[in-house]
Chain A
Amino acid sequence: MQMNENKEFEPLIVAFCCNWCSYAGADLSGTNRLNYPTNVKIIRVPCSCRVNPMFILRAFQRGADGVILCGCHPGDCHYTSGNYFTRRRMTLLFSMLDFLGIERDRTRVEWVSAAEGAKFAATMNEFTEAVKKLGPNRRLEDLRCRKQ
């Protein structure tokens, strides 16, 4: 989380992108000169299935205001079935975060293929706006990690 000169809230977004589809999709959106916000910090993972629930909680702990997980479309996983497992896990995890009263719009799963540079940019723009509206993450932050 950071404040710019106009004191407008700038969220920190962590995007976990799978190596085979979404990371290449992000690359494509760059080579196509499409804009997406600098708030988004991409972390490359071998497969969306590599992301365990702790990664997501740790991101929130260390100051993320929103976490988005991008992977190959169901059926297109480089490892055949990884993203099917991701889908179940993340559905349950997000449901649990919601159950604990943590704003559910801070988390999202989106399928982005290597050919969808435009979708990647659009998704990131939209997600950043949504998190900006929510304001800083207070319910799942670690005060010891706050940078001020």
Chain B
Amino acid sequence: MQEAIINKAKQLLADGTVDRVIGWKKGEFAYDITPAVFGSAEEIDADFVYDDFTSANVSKYLVKETKKEGKVLVFLKPCDTYSLNQLIKEHRVDREKVYVVGIPGGPKLDIEKIKAKGISGILSVKNENYTLKIETIYGEETMPFSEAILDKCASCKSKKHVVYDELIGEDGEVLESNRFDMVEQLENMTAEERYNFWREQLSKCIRCNACRNVCPACTCEKCVFDNPTSGVENKAASDSFEENMFHIIRAFHVAGRCTDCGECSRVCPQNIPLHLLNRKFIKDINSLYGEYQAGEDTTSRAPLTNYTFDDCEASIVHERGVE
């Protein structure tokens, strides 16, 4: 797959269709792969990677890249195409300046899950028939592929590309996923249990803002959390209110626009299950205002910028579920 992608990128650069390529490049270790912009075939040959660790959703980088001169080539997995579609819908990305090549999706690997097995000093990870051969400085280890996949891939919602110019490989289908299971579990707890669960999770927050910075739906030039006079910055450690407030507002600001790509949880250095907050909003929107998948198209109105005369009243919250 990596070879096909690299050849495609070089071909499109050579015939002048695009001027730059957004992809992934090697990091210090085999598993810390980062998104990168490539300007020439030499750069691509040197650094471009596509493997089981290229889980980063690169669609957000298009917001800045498409403001520059020339056309950009981007390789998107199915889940990433939803994010791009949402950005196009919100006029954050000019579709004319992007050349989208759809590539097959995950499941991708989570290095933390491999490390959690007590495997350290990792040099390389190879997938052979769904068994991982992990080469370490202490010798070779193996573990099943299925035990190391990212949480966001374990509850994959779709293998279908919703926007592309061409595809490498086959297009898939929208899947039946179990992504709301954990939200339901929490809903069935008592209020006190839920409170304790979230206190335990959110008190880990170090307010690094990684969840906000990676989110393809968070593209405001000026963010409410960056207001230097509001005093909200760098206070996560000082009071539980700040932690709750940050995460409620972060999730609320993307409600109805979140495509559930799961990047927020993936990048969280403290492993807070942030996607549960987004999924709660998605689940509520689906059940109260009709099924809605953000990023599926570029024409429908988002649920929070829309209304009907017979929407339910807010008191519905007080009437349902566990106290």
Binding site for B on A (CB under 8 A): 53-54, 57, 60-61, 74-75, 81, 84-85, 87-105, 107-109, 139-144
Given contacts A87-B307, A88-B307, A101-B198, contact A96 B314 (CB under 8 A): no
A-B pairs with the 6 shortest C-beta distances?
A101-B195, A84-B307, A101-B194, A142-B241, A109-B314, A94-B317
Q: Are A101 and B241 in contact (CB under 8 A)?
A: no
A61 touches B245 (CB 8 A): yes
Interface stretch among B121-129, B132-140, B249-257? B249-257
Complex partner residue of A143 from B195, B239, B280, CB under 8 angstroms: B239
Does B193 lie within 8 Å of A96, measured CB to CB?
Answer: no
Q: Which of B145-153, B210-218, B283-291 contacts A (4 or more CB under 8 A)?
A: B283-291
Residues of A close to B244: CB separation below 8 A = 57, 100, 102, 140
Known: A57-B245, A98-B317, A99-B186. A139 touches B195 (CB 8 A): yes
Q: Could you show 30 A-B contacts with beta carbons less than 8 Å apart?
A: A53-B249, A57-B245, A61-B245, A84-B308, A84-B311, A85-B304, A87-B311, A87-B313, A88-B304, A88-B307, A88-B311, A90-B314, A91-B312, A91-B316, A93-B248, A93-B252, A94-B314, A95-B280, A95-B317, A96-B252, A98-B321, A99-B187, A99-B280, A101-B193, A102-B191, A103-B191, A104-B317, A108-B314, A108-B318, A109-B314
Q: Chain A nearest CB: distance from B248 CB in Å?
A: 6
Check if B238 is an interface residue, CB within 8 A of chain A: yes
Contact with A along B210-252 (1 / 0, CB 8 A): 0000000000000010000000000000110110110011011
Residues in B with CB closer than 8 Å to A103 are 191
Dominant secondary structure at the A interface: helix
Chain B nearest CB from A109 CB (Å) reads 4
Q: How many residues of B contact A (CB 8 A)?
A: 48
- The minimal Cβ–Cβ distance linking B48 to chain A, given in whole angstroms, is 41
Q: A98-B191, A98-B317, A104-B318 are in contact. Are A92 and B252 (CB under 8 A)?
A: yes
Set A53, A54, A87: member contacting B314, Cβ < 8 A: A87
Measured in the bound complex, the distance between the Cα atoms of B312 and A74 in whole Å is 11
Closest CB-CB distance, A58 to chain B, in whole Å?
A: 8
In the bound assembly, the distance between CA atoms of A132 and B223 in angstroms comes to 37
